[in-house]
Amino acid sequence: MSKLTTIQKIKLFAEDKVTTGEYDLAKFKKHLEENPAYAFEWSYEAFKAAARVHVGKSLLYWTEKDEATAEKIIDFVKDMVLRGARYPERSTSVQSNEMKREIISVYAELLDVASR
């Protein structure tokens, strides 16, 4: 079995994040339709799912660019993660802050996966 290239790892990671994120968002939507108050009380997973879809779709878009290389993508993601850790969101919107944290978390996960 051949070893995956970094760009292949990025694509597989992105596809998985979109698939699992969309599945979890569909579950949240169902709960939202059934009981909105309960769905929002337990909406943490929806934030995580939305972040997975956002990051996954962004990565898939970037990997399709002609000038895209694994090195460029990883460098960009490292910058995002470091900036997010160094300057955490402090908006007055709790939801906005949470979404930004979850997006940074998914990007950090990619760095871990790509380095193996």
CB atoms within 10 A of CB 44: 10
* Interval 40-46 mean pLDDT: 90
| pLDDT above 90: percentage of residues in the chain | 69
Residue at 100: amino acid letter: K
CA atoms within 13 A on the CB side of 1: 2
| Mean pLDDT, residues 43-47 | 92
3-class secondary-structure state, position 42: coil
Residue where the block lists tokens 């995956």: 4
Cβ(89)–Cβ(101) under 8 Å?
Answer: yes
Quick: pLDDT tens for 52-91: 999 999 999 999 887 888 999 999 999 999 999 898 888 8
pLDDT per residue as tens digits for the range 20-30: 999 999 999 99
pLDDT band at 18 (very low <50, low <70, confident <90, very high): very high
Average pLDDT over residues 6-13: 92
The model carries a pTM of: 0.89
